[in-house]
Amino acid sequence: MSEIPPTDEARLIRPEVVTSLLDENNLVLPDDQINDFRVLLSALDEAAQHMLSFDDYQPTVDLEKYPRTDIHVPEDTCGGGWATKAVVTCTQPTSSLLAGRTIALKDNIALAGVRCTNGTTAVDWTPVVDATVAMRVLDAGATITGKASCENGCFGGVSDTSCTGPVENPWAAGYSTGGSSSGSGRLVAAGAVDMALGCDQGGSIRLPAANCGLVGHKPTWGLVPYTGIISLEATIDHVGPMTKNVADCALLMDVLAGADGMDDRVPMMVKPGTFDFVKEVNETLAKGKPLAGLKIGILAEGFMSSRMDLGVEKLVRSAAVKFAEYGASVLSVSIPLHTESAPTWMCALPIAGMRQGLLGDLTGRKQLFMTDRISMASPKLTQVAFDANGPGGQSIYLRGRFLEQKYGLELHARAMNLMRKLAEEYDKALETYDVLVMPTAPMLTQKTATAAEKKEKGMGPLALLNRNLGVTHNTAPFDFSGHPALSLPVGLASPVDDPDVKLPVGMQIVGRQYEDLVCMQVAAVWEKENDWKSLYAGDM
């Protein structure tokens, strides 16, 4: 292909192509400059066609090294937890860290040859690549046994929005696991797999973990590669472990952490294979006063949600003060701006989330582009795609368009700057305290509703979306700030209107950036000294 712009008439685009482009964008050019832009755009068009003549450059999956069999949609979904089942292994693992362990991947994580629904029918996609985290668990000797259901577009906090069907809480039929990593929470808690990977942009690892009695860890932003995973919004994308205990969480983090050379979220100096979370946690547990010298701050504003449940508050406060028995100093800390995170988050997410999560616009990023899925995207949602996204995706789309058209990009910029201010407030508090603790969710999980029940009750978008109000009060701020945040089960409580039901409660432990280890150490000590299943808020 010549680098010289074409000048012969046969190779030039028509003048009306330039004038139409100007008209569509409310622009004008002097007539004597139209031909210049015919030449410039024609050269660009030839370059584009030349580029598209090359084969796409994607990582090649070695199916002999990573064989996959028995790919199918199961009849028995384990209470809605499974989206698709498969058996995927590595014939030449580089370590035995996860040998004998079974793992489920949230259904927004690419696994070549296995459908990836992202909880929605808006896009029909079967990946040709494996996500970095999938390859890492396989290289460590694990067996991936399938894809775990997730909420529609990963926008739901109640587990009845997925295109694969509702996901039931293993502790109580008819109750939600939370979302959006709903299937991951269900499968681990029900014993269908040893571990699972979830993704978290507002609490989607930690909330299902809290609701299902699991340990769920949202790593520091930029510690675990997001390569090969459907993005909701790059500045809040996290992938991490959902496990039965802290030891498994630390083990999985040893495998997952570190740069892969493709994801621009992860600094290249964060080297994979250089972490030893398991060893460090075990050394902490072996000490007489394992938390001696640590300062733990109970975040006052973490208990100030309008939907704060008394049982949740009792359990988390009781769990937090026990840290003093293990050598830590435990004091209250106030960060007033924490209560402003919800409206800030509400304004910061829609424009970027609409473009990246719904329209697949990842321009400006340095990462692996899954071009087969991107080719299905369009500058605007079609009516079919809009309908398929359900109230959560529809809300993000319309809110994004509304804010974009009424306020432009300044509102998004201001909201992001305020989130940075909030992150600095957390950093300031963490100069004094080693970790901050608070409820993972201020309330217990709620009941799900079938499609028929939603219709019978006349539940429109407002009623359906209002179920999520306040749920992310303590989780979403740390997606934007990027601090590591771990949810630890600390007891059981009963809904006010359903006293015979007992549901898990999670305590969130938040640490300094890249000090994920400290979160795990603090959680592991509490876990070792307490049987959380025997702690019931009704007895307090």
Report, as an integer, the average pLDDT of 7-14.
86
287 is catalytic: no
User: Within 115-194, where are the H helices?
Assistant: 132-139, 182-189
Question: Is 107 part of any domain?
Answer: yes
Determine which one of 180, 341, 395, 481 is catalytic: 180
C-alpha 357/C-alpha 131 separation (Å) is 17
Mean pLDDT of the chain: 96
C-alpha 285/C-alpha 281 separation (Å) is 6
* Domain co-membership, 535 together with 448: yes
Q: What is the pLDDT of residue 449?
A: 94
CB 38, CB 12: distance < 8 Å: yes
DSSP 8-state assignment for residue 261 = S
Which uninterrupted H or E stretch holds 256? helix 246-256
Residue 307: band (very low, low, confident or very high) from pLDDT cuts 50, 70, 90: very high
- Dihedral in degrees, nearest 10, Cα atoms 259, 263, 269, 272: 0
Q: What is the pLDDT of residue 465?
A: 94
* Domain co-membership, 14 together with 72: no
Residue 4: band (very low, low, confident or very high) from pLDDT cuts 50, 70, 90: low
Question: Is 291 part of any domain?
Answer: yes
pLDDT above 90 for 524:
yes
Domain extent for 29:
9-52
Question: Is 61 part of any domain?
Answer: no
CB 395, CB 413: distance < 8 Å: no
95 is catalytic: no
Residue 502: band (very low, low, confident or very high) from pLDDT cuts 50, 70, 90: very high
Q: What is the CA radius of gyration of the chain?
A: 24
Q: Side chain identity at 364, as an amino acid letter? A: G
Question: Is 32 part of any domain?
Answer: yes
Q: What is the pLDDT of residue 3?
A: 65
* Domain co-membership, 74 together with 23: no
Q: What is the pLDDT of residue 378?
A: 85
455 is catalytic: no
Q: What is the pLDDT of residue 1?
A: 54
Q: Among 114-123, 126-135, 234-243, 452-461, which is the least confidently predicted range?
A: 452-461
CB 320, CB 296: distance < 8 Å: yes
Q: Which position has the token pair 């400006």?
A: 364
Question: Is 163 part of any domain?
Answer: yes
CB 204, CB 176: distance < 8 Å: no
Question: Is 62 part of any domain?
Answer: no
* Domain co-membership, 27 together with 162: no
* Domain co-membership, 168 together with 206: yes
* Domain co-membership, 508 together with 467: yes
CB 205, CB 216: distance < 8 Å: yes
Tokens matching residue 487: 């949810």
Determine which one of 176, 204, 231, 395 is catalytic: 204
C-alpha 230/C-alpha 518 separation (Å) is 29
pLDDT in tens, 264-284: 999 999 999 999 999 999 999
* Domain co-membership, 240 together with 120: yes
pLDDT above 60 for 7:
yes
Phi, psi of 530 (to 5 degrees): -135, 140
Total number of domains constituting the chain: 2
* Domain co-membership, 165 together with 23: no
Determine which one of 85, 106, 147, 314 is catalytic: 106
Report, as an integer, the average pLDDT of 185-204.
98
Q: Which position has the token pair 């979306």?
A: 465
pLDDT in tens, 80-99: 999 999 999 999 999 999 99
C-alpha 373/C-alpha 360 separation (Å) is 8
CA angle 279, 440, 538 (to 5 degrees): 105
pLDDT above 70 for 393:
yes
* Domain co-membership, 48 together with 78: no
pLDDT above 60 for 440:
yes
Q: How many CB atoms lie within 10 A of CB 524?
A: 25
pLDDT above 60 for 2:
no
Question: Is 57 part of any domain?
Answer: no
Report, as an integer, the average pLDDT of 20-32.
96
Beta bridge partners of 508: 438, 487
Report, as an integer, the average pLDDT of 500-519.
98
Report, as an integer, the average pLDDT of 189-206.
98
pLDDT in tens, 323-362: 999 999 999 999 999 999 998 989 999 999 999 999 999 9
pLDDT above 70 for 26:
yes
pLDDT in tens, 396-417: 999 999 999 999 999 999 999 9
CB 142, CB 98: distance < 8 Å: yes
Which CATH number characterizes residue 274's domain?
Answer: 3.90.1300.10
CB 214, CB 177: distance < 8 Å: no
pLDDT above 80 for 6:
no
Question: Is 40 part of any domain?
Answer: yes
Tokens matching residue 9: 């008439």
CB 267, CB 259: distance < 8 Å: yes
Q: What is the pLDDT of residue 9?
A: 85
DSSP 8-state assignment for residue 11 = G
Residue 377: band (very low, low, confident or very high) from pLDDT cuts 50, 70, 90: confident
Q: Which strands sit side by side in the sheet containing 102-106, from one edge to the other?
A: 68-72, 82-88, 143-148, 102-106, 195-199, 239-243, 215-218, 485-493, 503-511, 435-439, 295-299, 329-333
C-alpha 357/C-alpha 361 separation (Å) is 8
* Domain co-membership, 269 together with 295: yes
pLDDT in tens, 201-237: 999 999 999 999 999 999 999 999 999 999 999 999 9
In Å, what is the CA distance from 356 to each residue of 102, 380, 393?
Answer: 31, 12, 12
* Domain co-membership, 91 together with 32: no
* Domain co-membership, 43 together with 80: no
